[in-house]
Amino acid sequence: MKFALKSIVAAAAFVAMGAASAAATTVNVGDSLNGLQLISGTGKLSFSVDLMGALDAGNVTVASYGAGTATATKDAFGSYSEVSATAQVSSVVVDSATNQLLSVATSGGATQTSPVAPSISSGGSLTVTDLNVDLINKKVYATVIGANGVGTLSNYYLWDIVNPVGTDTFSAGAHTLSTISGLKITTAGFNTFVQALGLYKSGKGALSVVTDFGTITTTLTAQTAAVPEPSTYGLMALGMVGIGLVARRRRAA
């Protein structure tokens, strides 16, 4: 009975150690995990057709913010044909046991500015930057900076991802991750947009019909982490020996 109990305890400890080893680990650009180093990456938010229509209705302009790069192209009729914001990946969160990507964070974004327009807007601005895409819980957080009393809201829960999210892994090479689509704005996020842009009833109505804010496309580049040369290990060993000799002499004295 005692042997069985010890075996159960040992097994439980082994399982606990396994669970602990499968921890979510943050890997910043330049850092390494499981023999892989994160080199670079980009995240691109492409606005949906409906969102571009809402921007057209309020004559909203789009500009780059921080390290982000905004692209806003109009057709011959003066309507938006493409709007996107591209930012550099700053870090990823990885399951250290499986190398599954759990979330991706970027740095930079875009600013939307609404002019004063009768029945549409009293004027305002809204910056969405530093996205953090939670691939497991299918949520997107961001830093939101808004006019009209909004201020700066960090790690703000902005969108839900309503479409399926693929499973991607942290691996060597340059990879395009599964596209994130179906961005549904939260109720609080919608109200923040309305306040920051100073939207009146007509402007608010144009924004309310946007059920999908766009898609997020992410690329990552990683490489096999450099392994120290054998000579480096030799120097480290000599250093340890030297430290040991110094400590021994001090004790002898």
Question: Which residues of the chain are under the pLDDT cut of 50?
Answer: 1-3, 5-21, 229, 232-233, 246
User: Would you state the pLDDT for residue 75?
Assistant: 96
| Closest residue by Cα to residue 153 from 113, 120, 109, 123 | 109
User: Would you state the pLDDT for residue 225?
Assistant: 80
User: Would you state the pLDDT for residue 160?
Assistant: 98
Please state the pTM of the whole predicted model.
0.81
User: Would you state the pLDDT for residue 9?
Assistant: 43
User: Would you state the pLDDT for residue 14?
Assistant: 40
| Closest residue by Cα to residue 220 from 48, 22, 36 | 36
Hey, what amino acid is at 53? G
